[in-house]
Structure 1
């Protein structure tokens, strides 16, 4: 059934009768009532017409020269393309009630006998049309509601603004069977847009000007007219959850939203998109705040030592907006340099608080002159006493003595240091229990640090991946390290090769003893 017929009014009717006089009378009555009529004289002609054209109702004679009207009705109702088309049967030889029962049982929506009163014929036609139009409209709306649900799932699954506008555009195009464009402003002030259903993607600058010219309130507003192209008017649903947010917009062709139900569906999709956008805005703001706080707890700059150049990186987990517990520090101590890297378990304000305490405690004990192993013992006592449930921490300390050409290594459950020189890269086999559990720990291990040796310290975010053995990740890191690389280039390369799409923060420190 076509959209016009679903809305009521004249219909397109196929009249099938081999008797010219009967056919002429029925067609005349239908045409005078405003309906469009197509005539057929045989079952074959009728089925061919139904195969190639759309009809809203079939007025069918029971006795046709080539096939019974009952059989034609069954064929019509068995075909998914025509099963919803109402069939009104008309018989000049109806004698027994069983004939009418057979017709209705085999699919007819009404059964009339000739001679039939014009008013009775038209009333039955209108009744059949009214029922099937209501049914078709309900099925049409149900299908669109199903598509709305599917689109809403896709919208809520989007993790980026680009992905969100793409899901909204695809959802609108699928739901309303039309070209659609979705636009929104991001947290950074940029504009994202996407089109679907063969719709041309607008220029972002034009979209930005259009959005800035509008000032809808909180909720959903439907506007009509020109948008980013004056020669292509649209109907657009604009939605926003806060006045300080740029509204999101979903625009479609005016002919695709011809009734209140379609506009309501478009508004619901826009509202769902605005709510999803608000979640992304909130995540972006929280992530930015967490990153700012995290960086404030790390060294603002590394010491510049001519004999021991170094570089560091901190990369937050993109999938987590909370602050993490990864940290590093470098402390100069009367000709020696203490380098620390660690990780407080968890992502939370509590983890960040513990991390800040550990870092400040580490500095205090280092300035007092304690050796690396003793520093770890004292930090362990602090964590066990004041953070017995949330203070589990891993840490590795290096105390570099350039004059002696040595490095003292003390490890507390952390990824061991990686040394690289002309002979290759290898991990320093120094272990120890993590901090916060009160176990005995070994003394530091003293190793030679020849000129040209590169040392890498990292947190487990660089080597861990779900479902992959930690040893495998550590071996990939070892194979990727070369002491001949520029350290800044090496740090960036390691992050590019091994640090993508990780679920944990990454802290990394590289240092090299020069001749």
Structure 2
């Protein structure tokens, strides 16, 4: 603790009443606050119970040597920094002074002592103590600022940022603190020491100064005055406000430390705003590349879901596609490797290429070959893609499947639920492809297609996730309910996007021939 600039707390230790009285009187006239002890044991006990800024210690004490007392003071971490001034009522040899200084004393006085000499020696020792205490205090607060900065910069949401900034400000200032910040398009977030982050209307700060100032009646805590430090990541952004008690920023050093923390918070908020805007842009782009509506076929009802990765993860290249080919239907699901805006753009090219090739080509394997060649020529390893392609013929109750390194279709019917045995290399590496495989698709069958984001789990094999999915699907499930349940059970807080497509083979609706035709 930093000693006061005036009126240091001094412990005078001397068993001689007269000497002790004289020294105490001089020190009190010098403006210091003085306590007294008669023995070394009493002195050590008082040092354990109270804080002192200096000990004026007689060398000759009735219970132990003043050298021993000084040594014990300096060996205790709680009192090691407290300066000790030895005083001897008798002449001492040079060797005695050396011993006293070597065993912990910061200065050594021998009677007779002039009042001014005593006070000057005490002030000299206190100057060093104050400078050291201030340096240690600053180092401690800078260490806390560094720790708070690391935590602030590691946050991935505005709620976490408000909480980290409030706790960091409280640590740096040594007082309760409140942080107020505004996410883009959201309510004002108020983070306070020891409390959960709460949302408030942005109007709460109407009329608040846009610069650092003292607010006597802050709207977030009426009746409790606060010094409010304001910082911005850029001039167009909403300001970050850090509020602490006025006494916490009484010095220039205090203000600078809180300002640095506020500025760090503002820059972190700016990064979160930029990321949120980029993520929203990528999601908008990816959603625009997915089918806007699904065909309505009585014999083949279908549903689809697209679930983006968690808000702090990058966008991916998951997609699905449905194209009518006369009486048949082309259904595809795929995933461009990587997680970035570039992956979403490649996904858009792959999907459009798929639709273009399907206009003149009905063999799903040949469509995969052409997409494979397109990716290899224009994108290389950065565009590697997995895709499962199906041509469904409701009238014939069959499905023709070709796979390019993707999770195979999951089929559920009255006999159970199984993955179709279809394999093939992923797209973009130019490998030979096996022929398409035809499977029966009896009435009542449900087919589920998904990307790996649904079945991949940290620390678990992909096969384990696929088996969990298989056991969660039955042929009599309502498809919309099924897809929602699978996303709720398997798709929470994922770092990868999820595309999910399901269709059911229902009975054909016979055509009605108009009478008289």
TM range (shorter): over 0.9
Residues 383, 391 of structure 1: 8 Å contact kept: yes
Give 1:288's aligned residue: 280
Give 1:209's aligned residue: 203
Deviates more, 1:392-401 or 1:310-319: 310-319
Give 2:42's aligned residue: 45
Whole-Å Cα distance in 2 between the matches of residues 54 and 215 of structure 1? Answer: 41
How far is 1:465 from its partner? 3.6
Residue 428 of structure 1, aligned match among 410, 417, 420: 420
User: How many residue pairs were aligned?
Assistant: 506
Under a length normalisation based on structure 1, what TM-score does the superposition of the two structures give?
Answer: 0.93
How far is 1:141 from its partner? 0.7
Give 1:361's aligned residue: 353
Whole-Å Cα distance in 1 between the matches of residues 461 and 33 of structure 2? Answer: 73
SS of 2:383's partner is coil
Q: Describe the shift of the 1:311–1:215 C-alpha distance in structure 2 as closer, same or farther (beyond 3 A).
A: farther
Whole-Å Cα distance in 1 between the matches of residues 209 and 360 of structure 2? Answer: 61
Q: Describe the shift of the 1:132–1:224 C-alpha distance in structure 2 as closer, same or farther (beyond 3 A).
A: farther
Residue 446 of structure 1, aligned match among 438, 453, 462: 438
Deviates more, 1:478-487 or 1:121-130: 478-487
User: Is 1:376 paired with 2:368?
Assistant: yes
**Unaligned stretches of 5+ residues in structure 1:** none
Whole-Å Cα distance in 2 between the matches of residues 49 and 388 of structure 1? Answer: 78
How far is 1:223 from its partner? 4.4
Whole-Å Cα distance in 2 between the matches of residues 320 and 119 of structure 1? Answer: 67
How far is 1:176 from its partner? 2.2
Residues 282, 341 of structure 2: 8 Å contact kept: no
Whole-Å Cα distance in 1 between the matches of residues 336 and 34 of structure 2? Answer: 80
User: Is 1:168 paired with 2:177?
Assistant: no
Give 2:93's aligned residue: 96
User: Is 1:243 paired with 2:235?
Assistant: yes
How far is 1:484 from its partner? 2.7
User: Is 1:506 paired with 2:501?
Assistant: no
Whole-Å Cα distance in 1 between the matches of residues 331 and 76 of structure 2? Answer: 78
Deviates more, 1:466-475 or 1:278-287: 466-475
Please list the CA deviations of residues 37-80 of structure 1 after superposition, one character each: whole Å capped at 9, or x if unmatched: 11122222212211111111111111111111111111111111
Q: Describe the shift of the 1:497–1:204 C-alpha distance in structure 2 as closer, same or farther (beyond 3 A).
A: closer
SS of 1:346's partner is coil
User: Is 1:403 paired with 2:398?
Assistant: no
SS of 1:236's partner is strand
Residue 78 of structure 2, aligned match among 67, 76, 81: 81
Whole-Å Cα distance in 2 between the matches of residues 340 and 326 of structure 1? Answer: 11
SS of 1:134's partner is helix
Residues 181, 201 of structure 1: 8 Å contact kept: no
How far is 1:215 from its partner? 5.8
User: Is 1:341 paired with 2:333?
Assistant: yes
Residues 145, 172 of structure 2: 8 Å contact kept: yes
Whole-Å Cα distance in 1 between the matches of residues 414 and 334 of structure 2? Answer: 28
Whole-Å Cα distance in 1 between the matches of residues 251 and 133 of structure 2? Answer: 15
- The within-5 A match list for 1:210-225 is 210-214=204-208, 216=210, 221=212, 223-225=214-216
- The within-5 A match list for 1:31-70 is 31-70=28-67
Under a length normalisation based on structure 2, what TM-score does the superposition of the two structures give?
Answer: 0.93
How far is 1:300 from its partner? 1.0
Whole-Å Cα distance in 1 between the matches of residues 438 and 223 of structure 2? Answer: 77
Q: Describe the shift of the 1:320–1:54 C-alpha distance in structure 2 as closer, same or farther (beyond 3 A).
A: closer
Residue 392 of structure 1, aligned match among 384, 387, 394: 384
CA-atom RMSD in angstroms:
2.0
Whole-Å Cα distance in 2 between the matches of residues 107 and 353 of structure 1? Answer: 72
Q: Describe the shift of the 1:229–1:502 C-alpha distance in structure 2 as closer, same or farther (beyond 3 A).
A: closer
Q: Describe the shift of the 1:497–1:102 C-alpha distance in structure 2 as closer, same or farther (beyond 3 A).
A: same
Deviates more, 1:128-137 or 1:234-243: 234-243
SS of 2:338's partner is strand
Give 2:318's aligned residue: 326
SS of 1:74's partner is helix
Give 1:490's aligned residue: 482
Please list the CA deviations of residues 178-219 of structure 1 after superposition, one character each: whole Å capped at 9, or x if unmatched: 2112221112322222222x5x6686337x3343434637xx
How far is 1:506 from its partner? 1.3
Residues 162, 197 of structure 2: 8 Å contact kept: no
Deviates more, 1:460-469 or 1:120-129: 460-469
How far is 1:341 from its partner? 0.8
Give 2:13's aligned residue: 16
Give 1:458's aligned residue: 450
